[in-house]
Amino acid sequence: MTWNDVVFLLPEIIISIGASLLLLAPVVGWRQRETSAKWSMLILLGITALTVIGCSYWVQEIPQSRSLAGMFALDGFAIFFKLIFITAIAMITLLSDDFLRESRYSVWEYYSLLGFALCGMMFMVSGMSLISIYIGLELMSLSSYILAGFFKNEEKSTEAAMKYFVLGAVSSGILLYGISLIYGVCGSLNLLDIGRALSTIITNDALMFGVMLLGAGLCFKMAAVPFHVWTPDVYEGAPTPITAFLSTASKAAAFSIFARIFYLALHDFQLDWSNVLATISALSMVLGNLAAITQDNVKRMLAYSSIAHAGYALLGIISLNSLGLRGVLIYSLVYVFANLGIWATVLMLRRHEYGGERVDDFEGLSRRAPFWAFAMVIFLLSLGGIPPTAGFIGKYFLFAAAIQAGFGWLAILAVLMSAVSMFYYLRLVVAMYLREGREADVAITRPLQIVAATCLIITLLLGIYPTPLINQATESSRWIGARAAIIPHAGR
């Protein structure tokens, strides 16, 4: 590392210094100033976002600038995702505001942990070596374990944290073992070196084993089916804004790193792993969507729906073509904003901890808050992938990529399962519009309105006029997409 490397790492350095200061603020006498915690966090995120944008001008000159001995890369892909993460965390900060005010927990530490999680995600998505990817992943995971159990006086929250921690720690152990075997076969931890080494090595058992373990660890982080068991429990037990964090930012981070590792390092291994991942993808879509139908708890329903969405995102990774990579980028963005909108609406209904968690709580929302009920319908349609919304664009790219790569059956299954998913999304719509609601109040506060309105604008605007997003995704994924295209695949 030299002084030059500092420039590349500037966004991460700023966010980690800021998060440390947020941690120190309450112990130097600012504990009671809770409003300033929110504003400090938002200002910090603003500065970080500006630095990332500043870095993006740098990247226009060079397609991929690397530092820290090639372990850390700044490319369009990383910057695209970093901006998604920062925006998502800013929205989660807004969502957390009222939720935290009602409880007696320390706000400063909460935002500090969110900041560290963001730092981990940003570092991870730039990782070009399995070392830096692992460190970023763990920083994100450790912060999420604590955040899931942040409401420590609530038994459910603690139980969620315990389940998440035990399963997460085991999965990261498995991921590590996979990394160590890949290192043993390829003799390097750098993604590009691994890619180069794999093009000359004949597939062997240790490598197969290593890739499977690595894939299992990553599938756990993105909650794909056989590794999804933690999802419903953790989503239900965690504080609602943290559930929003886990189902959006954390999930998008898992998509991004999955894509980076498989597109840059394991493309030559495609013949062997694509069928396994296709099965995982199919299982996630089927099980996630079918299990979601039976849920009465909205948080659990969204947890199963997020399992299904992991299945859709895997389509883009399996197909291993530039269309698929663009699909992953577009889909992550679309999914994050539709989901954040839904969580904002769920939090509007929340009264005294448990309201807004049951499907019944949505009854009669169309009369109590017509505009937000309409917004909710748009978000649900977007998750379902119905045309006027942005969700359609995301799914279109993923399905097209799958068909192009010869996974027609998977694309057909995905379309079918999208139809199934509309069934339980419409259950909420029916509850909102056709049922008589109990006369319960809704807490529509300004921060929640801001988040829901922003998500609504993004979801509708990108659905009607998607060209800028598609162009940006094409631009951002160019370097990595080109890498994947250079090497001829055995699977074609």
Q: By CB under 8 A, tell whether 357 contacts other proteins.
A: no
Using CB under 8 A, which of the segments 204-212, 270-278, 426-434, 470-478 binds other proteins? 204-212
Instruction: Report the nearest approach of other proteins to the CB of residue 468 (Å).
Output: 39
Q: By CB under 8 A, tell whether 201 contacts other proteins.
A: yes
CB 303 within 8 A of CB 339: no
When the beta carbons of 86 and 142 are compared against other proteins, the nearer one is 142
Using CB under 8 A, which of the segments 175-183, 250-258, 279-287, 353-361 binds other proteins? 175-183
Instruction: Report the nearest approach of other proteins to the CB of residue 345 (Å).
Output: 23
When the beta carbons of 209 and 396 are compared against other proteins, the nearer one is 209
When the beta carbons of 208 and 403 are compared against other proteins, the nearer one is 208
Q: By CB under 8 A, tell whether 32 contacts other proteins.
A: no
Using CB under 8 A, which of the segments 87-95, 158-166, 366-374, 425-433 binds other proteins? 158-166
Phi, psi of 73, rounded to the nearest 5 degrees: -120, 140
Instruction: Report the nearest approach of other proteins to the CB of residue 210 (Å).
Output: 9
Distance CA 462, CA 331 (A): 12
Q: Considering only residues 10, 176, 443, 450, which one is a binding residue for other proteins as defined by CB under 8 A?
A: 176
Spell out, one character per residue from 236 to 255, where the chain touches other proteins: x when CB under 8 A holds, - when not: xx------------------
Instruction: Report the nearest approach of other proteins to the CB of residue 343 (Å).
Output: 19
Q: By CB under 8 A, tell whether 184 contacts other proteins.
A: yes
Q: In this structure, what token pair is assigned to residue 374?
A: 């309409």
Q: Is 64 exposed, middle or buried (0-12, 13-18, 19+ CB in 10 A)?
A: middle
Q: Is 171 exposed, middle or buried (0-12, 13-18, 19+ CB in 10 A)?
A: buried
Three-state helix/strand/coil letters over 182-241: HHHHHCCCEHHHHHHHHHHCCCCHHHHHHHHHHHHHHHHHCCCCCCCCHHHHHHHHCCHH
Q: By CB under 8 A, tell whether 20 contacts other proteins.
A: yes
Q: Is 80 exposed, middle or buried (0-12, 13-18, 19+ CB in 10 A)?
A: buried
Q: By CB under 8 A, tell whether 268 contacts other proteins.
A: no
Q: By CB under 8 A, tell whether 448 contacts other proteins.
A: no
When the beta carbons of 36 and 158 are compared against other proteins, the nearer one is 158
Distance CA 232, CA 246 (A): 11
Instruction: Report the nearest approach of other proteins to the CB of residue 410 (Å).
Output: 27
Q: In this structure, what token pair is assigned to residue 388?
A: 């006027």
Place of tokens 């995600």: 121
Phi, psi of 103, rounded to the nearest 5 degrees: -95, 175
Instruction: Report the nearest approach of other proteins to the CB of residue 444 (Å).
Output: 29
Instruction: Report the nearest approach of other proteins to the CB of residue 164 (Å).
Output: 9
Runs of H (alpha helix) within 62-129: 76-102, 107-125
Q: By CB under 8 A, tell whether 208 contacts other proteins.
A: yes
Using CB under 8 A, which of the segments 21-29, 92-100, 240-248, 377-385 binds other proteins? 21-29
* Angle separating helix axes 322-349 and 390-404, nearest 10 degrees: 150
Number of helices and strands in the chain (H, E):
22, 2
Using CB under 8 A, which of the segments 117-125, 161-169, 414-422, 438-446 binds other proteins? 161-169
Closest listed residue to residue 37, CA positions, set 113, 107, 117:
107
Q: Considering only residues 53, 64, 103, 177, which one is a binding residue for other proteins as defined by CB under 8 A?
A: 177
Eight-class DSSP state of 102: H
Q: Considering only residues 125, 185, 373, 398, which one is a binding residue for other proteins as defined by CB under 8 A?
A: 185
Instruction: Report the nearest approach of other proteins to the CB of residue 17 (Å).
Output: 9
Closest listed residue to residue 361, CA positions, set 351, 371, 375, 370:
351
The footprint of other proteins on residues 121-150 (CB under 8 A) is 130-131, 134-135, 138, 142, 145-146, 149
Distance CA 32, CA 79 (A): 36
Instruction: Report the nearest approach of other proteins to the CB of residue 61 (Å).
Output: 26
3-state secondary structure of 291: helix
Q: By CB under 8 A, tell whether 4 contacts other proteins.
A: no
Segment holding 9, helix H or strand E = none
Segment holding 268, helix H or strand E = none
Count of all residues that appear for the chain in the document? 492
Asked, as a colleague might, if the bond just before 466 is cis with ω within 30 of 0, I would say no
Q: By CB under 8 A, tell whether 102 contacts other proteins.
A: no
Q: In this structure, what token pair is assigned to residue 418?
A: 């999208």
Which residues contribute to the site for other proteins (CB under 8 A)?
A: 1-3, 20, 23-24, 27-28, 130-131, 134-135, 138, 142, 145-146, 149, 152, 155-156, 158-163, 165-166, 169-170, 172-174, 176-177, 179-181, 183-185, 187-189, 201-202, 204-209, 232-233, 236-237
